[in-house]
Structure 1
């Protein structure tokens, strides 16, 4: 079962900041469960019970769709280098779009990536640490540059059109927070 905590300790904040990848888990009231890997410099711990991460343009937009129906979210961090460890953050989240009142409070915490769809603001109510003894070890080689190279070739209008065309419906056919084009 692992150890449980009601907040993110300084030790676990440091662990989170060292990770190069994390995984998100969400589910709507019905339909498919979504688990997504996230990377780049895209997550910040705001305080003992709040994290925020950038949701960049991608082929789907499941997380934002799920949060419209069910605000539960899990984030998982695994130590692929160093001592074994798995850390899960459980809580409730909301997606912030650029026109949201809270957007300007957080967007400047991140590098200026193009193609940001949402900021995912999560209130954490449970932190769980597990052993991670069976998680394999990997050597980090660097962030992939494919997304930034792709977005750098697009105009703002082209990125907007892509999001409206590819990110306005979930794989279950549910509307996201991006209106269709």
Structure 2
């Protein structure tokens, strides 16, 4: 059965740190819901009511657009091994970019990864666990190097140009802040 928490307990923080993948969901008031898988050691627990993740350049920038519009975000993690568990973090998020005052403070929490676009900070308002009994077993074999290699090949200038061409608007036409 589902259980709700006001914050991230020590046990839930331990669970988060052990996961290799998480999922980010956002939605505009009117338009498509976005759901994206994330990995590459990109999630950090700031405290019992705040998390942050490193967002890398990709084919879209839906999350940033949705956060600008309404701030709503859900992060989901689930166990693919041993004890089943699904964990959802509901909250309000903002995107930090290189010109923001807190950028360096938050960037220092993550490994240097080519193609870093922004850091998403989430104020966790509600935490929910559920059983996860139907989630299949999967084995983590490693992070894919493809996105990192793509960004390294393009170089900083090429990645910047790509963002200007592909990441300035959501698929629903909302601005992303880039």
> How far did residue 176 of structure 1 move?
1.0
User: Quick one: distance in 1 between partners of 2:146 and 2:38?
Assistant: 14
The CA deviation at 1:81 is: 1.0
- Equivalent positions of 1:1-181 (< 5 A) are 2-178=2-178
Structure 2 unaligned blocks of 5 or more: none
What is the aligned length?
Answer: 178
Offset of residue 38 of structure 1: 0.4
Q: What's the C-alpha RMSD, in Å, of the aligned pairs?
A: 0.8
SS at match of 2:136: coil
Distance (Å, rounded) in 1 between the aligned partners of 2:169 and 2:69: 14
Deviations 1:15-56 (A, max 9, x none): 001101000010111111111100111010000000000110
Q: Distance in 1 between matches of 2:119 and 2:165?
A: 20
> CA–CA distance in 2 between the matches of 1:94 and 1:62?
13
How far has the Cα of 1:177 moved from its partner? 1.0
Cα shift at 1:65: 0.4
CA distance in 1, matches of 2:152, 2:50: 31
Report the secondary structure of 1:124's partner residue.
Answer: strand
Distance 1:126 1:175 in 2: 27
- Structure 2: distance between partners of 1:116 and 1:34: 20
Q: Counterparts of 1:147 and 1:155 in 2: how far apart (Å)?
A: 12
SS of 2:124 mapped into structure 1? strand
SS at match of 1:73: strand
Q: Distance in 2 between matches of 1:125 and 1:100?
A: 24
TM-fit CA distance, 1:122? 0.4
User: Residue 148 of structure 2: SS of its match in structure 1?
Assistant: helix
Counterpart contact for 2:115–2:152, Cα < 8 Å: no
Q: Structure 2 length as normaliser, TM-score? A: 0.98
